[in-house]
């Protein structure tokens, strides 16, 4: 009788449609749904970009400015660089050395 009980339980737990396989498949479905939601967000953003590029000139103009550094006629291009820490520390070191000699 015990052997028959074990024989009946085997497919339930370890068989093709057993509980363990169902649990593993549910985890895979959850992971795939998470990936799909991230891809859906990306697609929505890209769809908005495509719509902007088709309908308006502002998006095209912005990309031309950012990616290619283009400016309109009558505009001036000004680039502000951040202060370089290494050059200021070198000038401080040279002024200390000059004053100490």
Q: Higher confidence at residue 93 or residue 64?
A: 64
Residue 15 gets which letter from DSSP? S
Q: Mean pLDDT over residues 10-20, rounded?
A: 76
What tens digit of pLDDT does each residue of 35-92 get?
Answer: 999 999 999 999 988 888 788 777 778 888 888 878 888 888 787 888 887 655 555 5
Angle between helices 58-68 and 19-55 (to 10 degrees): 100
Q: Residues near 59 by Cβ (< 8 Å), separated by ≥ 6?
A: 49, 52, 53
Q: Residues near 13 by Cβ (< 8 Å), separated by ≥ 6?
A: 19, 20
* pLDDT attached to residue 101: 45
Q: Higher confidence at residue 76 or residue 100?
A: 76
Say what the alpha-carbon torsion angle 11, 16, 17, 21 is, to the nearest 10 degrees: 110
Domain residue extents for the chain = 2-80
């Amino acid at each position: 009788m015990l052997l028959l009980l074990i024989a009946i339980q085997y497919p339930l737990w370890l068989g093709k449609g057993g509980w363990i396989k169902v649990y593993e498949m549910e985890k895979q479905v959850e992971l795939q749904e998470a990936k799909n939601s991230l891809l859906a967000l990306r697609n929505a953003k890209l769809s908005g970009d495509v719509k902007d590029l088709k309908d308006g000139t502002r998006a095209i103009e912005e990309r031309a400015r950012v990616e290619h550094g283009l400016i309109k006629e009558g505009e001036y291009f000004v680039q502000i660089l951040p202060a370089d820490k290494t050059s200021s520390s070198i000038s401080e070191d040279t002024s200390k050395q000059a004053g100490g000699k």
